[in-house]
Amino acid sequence: MRRFAFPSVAVLALLIAVAGFVGPDDDYFAIRKSITLFGRLYEELATGYVDAPDAERLMRVGMDAMLASTDPYTVLFDEAATEDMEIQTRGQYGGVGISVGQRAGRMVVTAVLDGSSAAAQGIRPGDEVLSVEGQALAGRDAAEVLSVLRGAPGSTVALEVRREGEAEPLRFALVRSSLRVHDVTYAGWVGDPAAGVGYVRLERFSEQSAAETRAAIERLRDEGAANGRGLRGLVLDLRGNPGGLLDQAVDIAGLFLPQNTPVVTMRGRTPETERAFRNRNAPVLPDVPLAVLVDGESASASEVVAGALQDHDRAIIVGERTFGKGLVQQVRPLPYHTALKLTVARYYTPSGRCIQAVRYLPDGSAAAVPDSLRRSFRTGHGRPVRDGGGIEPDVPATLGGGGELEDALVRSAAFFRYANHYAASHRALPAGFTADDALLEDFRRWSEAEGGVDYRTRAERTLDVLAGELSDAGYDATDDEVAALRAEVDRERRDDFRRHAGPLKARLRQEILARYVNQSDALRAALADDAPLDAALSVLGDSGRYRRTLSSVGTR
């Protein structure tokens, strides 16, 4: 990570200037007093401590401690982080089209962008990156590697990778180009073709999100008109979408709501953070039945969209309760190409609820909003909704999970490494490929040969506690009885691969497909076994149930 300096005089001048705009006299005096004390303390430590400290690090520790007393979203960005933030906001950068990350202690390619130089030359997820521009990556983190890969469009960068199944490292000369990371990663038709239900997956909210979503919907509408079926239903998939730009969320909600409809309200400490947002444009789909898919990783701007559509009874919300981030951040530029992302307000859905699920205390700790403090509100049709806990779905549905086993396999990068192993022995994807029982069994044997899966189930942990409490309480629980319980738990543990076959197969299929097909095709294939999507299609296909779900007599 690139280092940056804040000379103490410049910092104090900046803080004093900011403090000059604080309103009440008491606050102004307290801020000036604290700034003076902080500056003197810093100066004395930096110049007089027995061992000369790193002055820059000393200041950064102080700033980090201040930020730690707020919330996780109020952060200071250095130059590299500021650049990454700008890329995420614009969705465009000069690069070769790969994402990298640590897997099992190795720097590997985690994704390849369709249409990039990396995709054209055959780099694929799972390749271990050995060097960039001849420089070994030992001790480098992913952010540092990505900063080297990015650069002026038209320039080249040398990349060396190791691929399982290849005797020698592979070398590439990749051409940087102006890349756009699309927010709509897949749009197409789902379910029974005769039903005419379209699907749009939105991954994030950057500057082009609303335009891309509108274009995807209009394309589906035109295709439906051309084939005679029409667009008779739409699924908007916001699962895993962490949010982004608030104005894009307002515009996307406005694609389905009447013009000038309230979408979200910001309320903060200062007058400039008090603002109400309404849909500015005429809707693209004012009355087509709509379902929105959400999960526990749908946050912030995703919750603005889902909350507005739920409060106006415009869409059924399907899936899992959302993350619960009702805090609004603004980015304030600071000297030396740094920036402060600062929480300035909370946002409220049209019914008046704040969906923030966590309270951040002055000591930096966090506490969930208790049920006793959650208030009830009403949608336009009179349906009950509550604040303080994200957006609760109208139709609960989940992909399911593999429990502790799947978590342990993910932590050890087992799915990722097995996909590399599979691709090394299958040069092409077998015709009719599916993640069946035979593949799962091969994965189980491979994982055991690799050293097995190190995890403990909830039952094992509970048994340990029970055995200890029985012993402490003086009960006559013999070793044989406890051993018998442990044997039963072990038997159940060995059966975890069979018990959780569904989610394990789904993850295997997703990882293996990523080695052979582009991102869009991999996403489309993943929809073939998607319980929340099936639940949404079931409701959209039953007009009576759809209307009842959105009425005050519907069940939640």
Residues 468, 344: Cα–Cα separation, whole Å: 49
Angle, helix 142-149 to helix 79-90, in steps of 10 degrees: 70
DSSP codes of every residue in 37-61: HHHHHHHHHHHHSSS---HHHHHHH
Selected catalytic residue, list 251, 325, 387, 394: 325
360 close to 70: Cβ distance less than 8 angstroms: yes
Residues in the chain: 556
| 311 is a catalytic site residue | yes
Q: What is the DSSP letter of 72?
A: T
Residues 256, 283: Cα–Cα separation, whole Å: 5
Selected catalytic residue, list 251, 311, 313, 394: 311
248 close to 326: Cβ distance less than 8 angstroms: no
| 34 is a catalytic site residue | no
250 close to 277: Cβ distance less than 8 angstroms: yes
Strand ordering across the sheet containing 233-237:
184-190, 197-202, 233-237, 290-294, 316-319, 395-396
Which pairs from 96-101 meet CB under 8 Å and 24+ separation? 96/149, 96/157, 96/159, 96/174, 96/175, 96/176, 96/177, 97/177, 97/179, 98/123, 98/149, 99/146, 100/129, 100/142, 100/145, 100/146, 100/149, 101/142
CA distances from 433 to 173, 376, 424, 545 (A): 32, 49, 16, 36
Helix (H) or strand (E) holding 14: helix 8-19
Beta-strand relationship, 376-378 and 316-319: unpaired
Q: What is the DSSP letter of 176?
A: P
CA atoms within 13 A on the CB side of 124: 18
Q: What is the DSSP letter of 391?
A: P
- Phi and psi based region of residue 213 (left: phi greater than 0; alpha: psi -120 to 50; beta: remaining): alpha
Nearest to 390 by CA among 343, 302, 312, 321: 321
Q: Give the pair of three-digit tokens for residue 279.
A: 């849909």
| 251 is a catalytic site residue | no
Selected catalytic residue, list 300, 302, 412, 447: 300
SS percent in the chain: helix, strand, coil, step 5: 40, 20, 35
Catalytic residues: 300, 311, 325
